[in-house]
Amino acid sequence: MMHCELAHGTPFYRAVQDGLLDTRRVVQIGLRGSVYGPNEERWSLQHGFHIIQAQECWFKSMAPIMETKVLPVLGAGPVYISFDIDCLDPAFAPGTGTPEIGGLTSAQALEVIRSCKGLNIVGADLVEVSPPYDTSGNTALTAANLLFEMICVLPGVKCLD
């Protein structure tokens, strides 16, 4: 995707080019698939991104991964959560433009988001949801629940534990 001037997969590439991201504090979780070539991952690593492949998460709780590999990188600075629904396996979220098997589970997604409680979150989004690709409505339901969870981890929000 890096060879495309503008595409759905280039926002982080463009943000780095424009000097908007401290790449030493960017973590990408759940990357996988045949759509991307080795140059995309190589580029991310060369620019300081931290990558946790989906395969590293298979059959595991995300809590220890978040505790040891993600939260220390994020630190006390401002955090923006951008959740791409296609990090989930299509069994949990088929309604996306780029479904790839071997993704995270919905429970793992909850663990990732809930682990962000206490961070200096300044904003969040959830992208790549395409309801026409999911006649069951599961993707929209999952996305709505994940957005609710993101609201619950925002600073100053009191939620029942």
Q: Measured between alpha carbons, how far is 17 from 107 in angstroms, rounded to an integer?
A: 34
Q: Measured between alpha carbons, how far is 84 from 86 in angstroms, rounded to an integer?
A: 5
Decide: helix, strand or coil at residue 51.
Answer: strand
Return the CA Rg of the chain: 15
Summarize pLDDT for 132-161 with one digit per residue, the tens.
999 999 999 999 999 999 999 999 998 876
Decide: helix, strand or coil at residue 145.
Answer: helix
Is 49 buried (19+), middle (13-18) or exposed (0-12) by CB count in 10 A?
Answer: buried
Give the pTM: 0.90
